[in-house]
Amino acid sequence: MTFPLVDIGLNLSHDSFDHDRASVVDHAVAAGVTRMVITGSTLASTRAAVEIARSDPARYRATAGVHPHHASEFADADVPALRELLLMPEVAAAGECGLDYFRNFSPHADQERVFRLQLQLAVDTGKPVFLHQRDGHDPFVAILRDYLPRLRGAVAHCFTGDERELRDYLDLGLSIGITGWICDERRGLHLRELVRFIPLDRLMIETDAPYLLPRDLRPKPPHRRNEPKYLPHILRTIAGCRGAAPEAVAFATTQNAVAFFGFGAA
């Protein structure tokens, strides 16, 4: 049985899809991934995501935001442009935004400034947030707490943290996005335990394509590019870890994503 799935994090405007984007989407739909949320991570990629989303509003939503890697490129003068994007009907969430102290491509002060700014824009525009956090848990939570009561919703996308981080997120009321990181036998093992603690009504699934190709796909794809068609593989892995039927996890995660990102009825 295939149940319609929603990929809540997909970088479909990435240039690695430029030569075959339509067939990537066709393959995803054939695999049951009928709806997709296209991640915006800069102003430019947000505009590209909105343009794709506009082409088929039943299939797509976009997020509008600035990834912490790009925080130092984002000036206060860019705020009106981001606000305008956030108000577009195709844009279902603010982000991805947050802190990434693992790669530190932008200085911490810039990351925190641009994170706060986007949380405020999310409050102002009434959009939920699509969050990214790596190696910055404590400052991330401290900043988020200031805005959470006024936010319409929040999902921690591509959760890869430890049990303490997960407990904190759940206590704060966040939803949790799980990617193919859970399929990684080197660094995803802890997630296989933790994923059982996520209440079914707070769980969503995503590929983060073209990044994070699941490492245990057999046969191994000829290239390393991840695609939304692999979402059912991630779903089955999660279901296996929870000792649940894939259909039950599919039904719940789709329902959660449809409600969070404002898709039409499933």
- Residues near Zn ion (CB under 5 A) are 96, 132, 158
Least distance CB 112 / Zn ion (angstroms): 17
Least distance CB 137 / Zn ion (angstroms): 14
Number of residues that make up the chain:
266
Least distance CB 179 / Zn ion (angstroms): 9
**119, 144 contact by CB (below 8 A):** yes
Give the C-alpha distances (Å, rounded to integers) separating 70 from 11, 78, 126, 135, 228.
15, 13, 24, 17, 24
Q: Which is nearer to Zn ion, 96 or 184 (CB)?
A: 96
How many CB atoms neighbour CB 20 within 10 A? Answer: 13
Give the C-alpha distances (Å, rounded to integers) separating 111 from 23, 39, 196.
36, 18, 31
Q: Which is nearer to Zn ion, 72 or 255 (CB)?
A: 72
Can you tell me the distance from the alpha carbon of 173 to that of 78, in angstroms, rounded to the nearest whole number? 30
Q: Which is nearer to Zn ion, 70 or 132 (CB)?
A: 132
Q: Which is nearer to Zn ion, 96 or 112 (CB)?
A: 96
CA atoms within 13 A on the CB side of 256: 24
Q: Which is nearer to Zn ion, 26 or 135 (CB)?
A: 135
**Cβ neighbours for 258, distance < 8 A, ≥ 6 positions apart:** 6, 35, 264, 265, 266
Least distance CB 26 / Zn ion (angstroms): 26
Least distance CB 208 / Zn ion (angstroms): 7
Q: Which is nearer to Zn ion, 127 or 132 (CB)?
A: 132
Least distance CB 266 / Zn ion (angstroms): 25
Least distance CB 222 / Zn ion (angstroms): 26
Give the C-alpha distances (Å, rounded to integers) separating 121 from 80, 116, 118, 125.
10, 9, 5, 6
Q: Which is nearer to Zn ion, 15 or 26 (CB)?
A: 15
> Are β-strands 129-134 and 154-156 bridged in parallel, bridged antiparallel, or unpaired?
parallel
Using CB atoms, what's the residue nearest to Zn ion?
Answer: 132
Which residue's structure tokens are 């981001």? 82
